[in-house]
Amino acid sequence: MLTDTHAHLDSFEDPEGAVERARSNGVERIISISSGLESSRKTLAFAGGHERIYVAVGVHPHAAATGDAPTLSAIEELAGSPGVVAIGETGLDYFYMNSDKETQIRSFTGQIAIARRRGLPIVIHVRDADEDLIGILKSEDVSEKRGVIHCFTGNYETAKRYLDLGFYISFSGIVTFKKSDELRAAAAGVPADRILIETDSPYLAPVPFRGKPNEPAYVKHVAETVAEVRGLKTEELARLTSENATRLFGLDG
Ligand SMILES: [Zn+2]
Ligand SMILES: [Zn+2]
């Protein structure tokens, strides 16, 4: 069994078809991640009609300007809905910088507090912002469930800093790209009980679908690459990353 711990089913034209293809490729569980309040409502509505589709509700750093107090209290209320297993995705993105740093930090720390009050893990997006992000994770009162650094793209030293704070590290299709040697080395080094895999679909398709729309079924290709660098069979890697997802997000086994 494979688990795609990060897909944006609300961004698919045909999420139903994507889920069917995932299932016929052994991807039995999908965590569908939200990017804002409307996205959270849409994602919950879709997941409600499907077995083993779980939800993270939250506001993406790209939409941090919408992460004001009324929006965050609506997110907190949604977080109590059946099927919600995490808060996110949230975090800091200083590459696109769609909102200024202060706005992003406010939205992020607000969601850290929601995760703590709800006893949920956080799904963290970080780009060009590791120093600020690590500083915040050290100074804020973070949920005891911690969470995951999703679509990790750094080296092992950076991964280690998040591991030391109790976080899981999730690898996406980027790990299959030709130039990703440093990332593959990180994927080889993360402890077996802290590694996750994801697609971040419909973005970031892995090789051999690079440049095409991505979907949860392709998490298999991420699993193959990560298994190879860790010297495991794909089935073994699929099993251990699924067990990790079950533990972190409290999924049904
Ligand atoms: Zn992200
Ligand atoms: Zn995402």
Buried b (16+ CB within 10 A) or exposed e, 58-92: bbbbbbbebbeeebbeebbebbeeebbbbbbbbbb
Domains of the chain: which residue ranges?
2-249
Ligand 1 geometric centre to CA of 53 (Å): 19
Mean pLDDT over the full length of the chain: 97
Residue 131: predicted pLDDT: 98
Spell out a b/e string for 238-247, using b for 16 or more CB atoms within 10 Å of the CB, else e. bebbbbbbee
Q: Which residue has the tokens 């709800």?
A: 118
Beta carbons of 10 and 43 less than 8 angstroms apart: yes
183 CA from centroid of ligand 2 (Å): 18
Q: How far apart are CA 157 and CA 163, in angstroms?
A: 10
* Separation of CA 131 and ligand 1 centre (Å): 17
Spacing, Cα 89 to ligand 1 middle (Å): 7
Give me ligand 2 centre to Cα 61, in Å: 10
pLDDT tens sequence for the chain (253 residues) = 999 999 999 999 999 999 999 999 999 999 999 999 999 999 999 999 999 999 999 999 999 999 999 999 999 999 999 999 999 999 999 999 999 999 999 999 999 999 999 999 999 999 999 999 999 999 999 999 999 999 999 999 999 999 999 999 999 999 999 999 999 999 999 999 999 999 999 998 989 998 899 999 999 999 999 999 999 999 999 999 999 999 999 998 7
Query: Could you tell me which CATH number the domain at 2-249 has?
Result: 3.20.20.140
Give percent of the chain above pLDDT 70.
Answer: 100
- Amino acid letter at 239? R
**205-214: long-range pairs with CB below 8 Å, 24+:** 205/173, 206/172, 206/173, 206/175, 206/176, 207/173, 207/176, 207/177, 207/178, 210/173, 210/176, 210/177, 214/173
DSSP one-letter code for 6? E
Helix (H) or strand (E) holding 248: helix 234-249
Query: Mind listing the pLDDT tens digit for each residue in 26-39?
Result: 999 999 999 999 99
Q: Which two tokens stand for residue 219?
A: 């998490």
> Do 104 and 63 contact (CB within 8 A), yes or no?
no
The total number of residues shown for the chain amounts to 253
Query: Over the stretch 214-225, which tens digit does the pLDDT of each residue have?
Result: 999 999 999 999
- pTM equals 0.97
d(CA 110, ligand 2 centre) in Å: 19
CA of 200 to the centre of ligand 2 (A): 5
C-alpha 52, offset from chain centre: 16
